[in-house]
Amino acid sequence: MYGYNGKILRINLKDRTIKTEKLDLEMAKKFIGGRGLGTKILSDEIDPSIDALSSENKIVITSGPLTGTPTPTGGRYMVITKSPLSGTIASSNSGGFWGAELKAAGYDLIIIEEKADKPVYLEIKDEKVAIKDASHLWGKYVGQTTDLLQEEHGDKAKVLTIGPGGENLSFMASIMNEKDRAAGRSGVGAVMGSKNLKAIVVRGTGKVAVSDPEKLKVIFKDSIKKLKAHGVTGEGLPAYGTAVLVNIINESGMFPTNNFQSSYFDKAEEISGESLSEKYLVRKEACYRCPIVCGRYCKTDEVEGGGPEYETIWAFGATCGVSDLKAIIKANYWCNQMGIDTITAGATIAAAMELYQKGYIKESELDGVSLEFGNADAMTEWVKRMALREGLGDKMADGSYRLADMYGAPELSMTAKKLEMPAYDPRGVQGQGLNYATSNRGGCHVRGYMISPEVLGSPEKLDRFSLEGKAIWTKIFQDLTAVIDSLGLCLFTSFALGAEDYAKLYNAVAGTDHTAESLLQAGERIWNLEKMFNLAAGIDSSQDTLPKRLLEEPIPEGPSKGWVHKLDELLPEYYKERGWSKGGIPTGEKLKELGL
């Protein structure tokens, strides 16, 4: 058995039973692992139409076959569950070291069922697994919880935990590991909170067996060489981290400002990656076996910690009209402590600001905290209130769609399938907009990162306004991303590596005989399975859309002035490329072809 440990850990929180089950290797390989395998298990074990916060929902935490192996960036894990925010499949990805530790403990994945009657945490020390009382941890911030659990279980133990956001069932709650790494999106932390599960501590001392260690050494060296030689993974990301995108996206006029009312922020320089490095950067940080080192650790006179990443800088910066980088770092810090997603948090504050600007939210509802665009001081207060569900923060905690809908103005929520879109205005980058609209988890940039060809010129430059070829590019990027997420690698490797490289790595580790084509087909299989989950959950293809503003209101100023998103022209071609019906449903023929 190579690449996989062959073991599933099944935890029932109601009965307090802990079972080790054999992993069906044939099934695992069909869906690779990680995101794919987790989706397969969730689809088989739950009815997708259930309430995401009911005890019937399950949480599947998966590693990939390359997680915990010497493969570059092989430290990732995924959380697959039904999302309370979007109602779709949720599959949130995180780096750091926790995933590799789970693998070293001897498991490929954990299935968490039912609900504990009081707060508990899970302790995994190789084959020794226990459900423990977490009453002393409940209510504690992510940092405090992590410190307390490491005091108890040793520095080498890796801690995954929710914060008060997850405990209070905030729909934007994240699951955090090593304090600052987040399985951030889709409200996965609320599902953990609904089960009274505070944390999972893992310590593993084993090693993952590899099929062909000598061959892996050669492929490993070749991959490292490619990652080091590529401008983005070898120079751009190491030098400035993801925040370097602030200026380029703004200079292109697609940096959503004031809740997408504009797409050019005249104070972008003040919140740029260059300013971050100059004023607040303490050190750079790497995840498990990562040669890219894009992580930042920043410090102000008030707080210090990991981040902020590009999307976070945007979420608390331009889209809230804020140009104070120190305030953005503080809001990021409190999101990490409270365990809430920075993108949805910032974007929801921005939507609330517009609801206030347009008179929907009244002064009397604010309890003295400003909702003016540009008010930097108020942001952290709203972050705390959304995590604790206090005052107006209780309504905001359900995300921008439910908030705006409650005030009769759902069109002011900048979401796709109720998930807040991150930092690229689809009107200025047509392929990325198609990806937002069709992504199986909603408004997400990392389900098919079309910014890479459309703006950054990798692997080749596409005209960002042109519609030509965007449907097939989007499909391929989506399928390839599903592969990377399922293998247990970081998406950033895809700037320098291609499907063929991933096939070589996977084959050397797991003894498979994949080609680039067969691996991409596995990605397509995963994509279709996610789509089928959504359809069964009642999320049909009429929800493959974008907010009205982006389809009808041209960008008012800046380099992308005058553009709207042309989804109605792109969508039919996309469905065709996917081999789906005109109504966006996978055909029987397609499902058969994919073995579903």
Partner 1 sequence: MSIEVRLFATLREGRDKKIYVDYEEGLNGNAIVEKLNIPKDEVAIFLVNGRDLALDKELKENDVISIFPPVGGG
User: Binding residue for partner 1 (CB under 8 A) from 252, 259, 319, 336?
Assistant: 252
Quick one: 275 or 413, whose CB is closer to partner 1?
A: 275
Contacts (Cβ under 8 Å, ≥6 apart) of 125: 105, 153, 157, 202, 203, 204
How would you classify the pairing of strands 109-113 and 7-12?
A: parallel
User: Binding residue for partner 1 (CB under 8 A) from 248, 281, 366, 596?
Assistant: 248
Q: What is the DSSP letter of 553?
A: S
Asked if 231 touches partner 1 (CB under 8 A), the answer is yes
CA angle 63, 66, 70 (to 5 degrees): 125
What's the CA gap between 412 and 132, in Å, rounded?
44
Q: Count residues contacting partner 1 (CB under 8 A)?
A: 44
Quick one: 327 or 451, whose CB is closer to partner 1?
A: 451
Asked if 239 touches partner 1 (CB under 8 A), the answer is yes
Quick one: 10 or 561, whose CB is closer to partner 1?
A: 561
User: Binding residue for partner 1 (CB under 8 A) from 156, 461, 548, 582?
Assistant: 461
Shortest Å, Cβ 454 to partner 1: 10
Shortest Å, Cβ 356 to partner 1: 30
User: Binding residue for partner 1 (CB under 8 A) from 58, 226, 441, 445?
Assistant: 445
Return the closest-CA partner of residue 491 out of 132, 72, 70: 72
Asked if 237 touches partner 1 (CB under 8 A), the answer is yes
Question: Considering only 74-82, 157-165, 305-313, 409-417, which stretch makes contact with partner 1 by CB under 8 A?
Answer: 305-313
CB 109 within 8 A of CB 61: yes
What's the CA gap between 42 and 48, in Å, rounded?
9
Asked if 84 touches partner 1 (CB under 8 A), the answer is no
What's the CA gap between 580 and 129, in Å, rounded?
44
Asked if 270 touches partner 1 (CB under 8 A), the answer is no
Which residue type is seen at 191? V
User: Binding residue for partner 1 (CB under 8 A) from 245, 388, 520, 550?
Assistant: 245
Shortest Å, Cβ 446 to partner 1: 6
User: Binding residue for partner 1 (CB under 8 A) from 138, 449, 527, 574?
Assistant: 449
Residue 394 has phi, psi (to 5 degrees) of -65, -40
Please give the full DSSP string across 212-278, using - where no structure is assigned.
Answer: -HHHHHHHHHHHHHHHHHSIIIIIIHHHH-GGGHHHHHHHTT---BTTTTBS--TTGGGGSHHHHHH
The residues in 512-571 that bind partner 1, with binding defined as CB under 8 A, are: 558-560
Residue 151's Cβ-count burial label (10 Å; 0-12, 13-18, 19+) is exposed
User: Binding residue for partner 1 (CB under 8 A) from 240, 333, 401, 473?
Assistant: 240
Asked if 168 touches partner 1 (CB under 8 A), the answer is no
Shortest Å, Cβ 228 to partner 1: 13
Quick one: 457 or 588, whose CB is closer to partner 1?
A: 457
The encoded tokens of residue 390 equal 């206090």
Distances (CA, A) of 80 to 94, 141, 302, 456: 12, 23, 35, 30
Instruction: Give the footprint of partner 1 on this chain (CB under 8 A).
Output: 230-233, 235-237, 239-245, 247-248, 251-253, 269, 273-274, 294, 309-311, 445-446, 449, 451-452, 455-458, 461, 463-464, 491-492, 495, 558-560
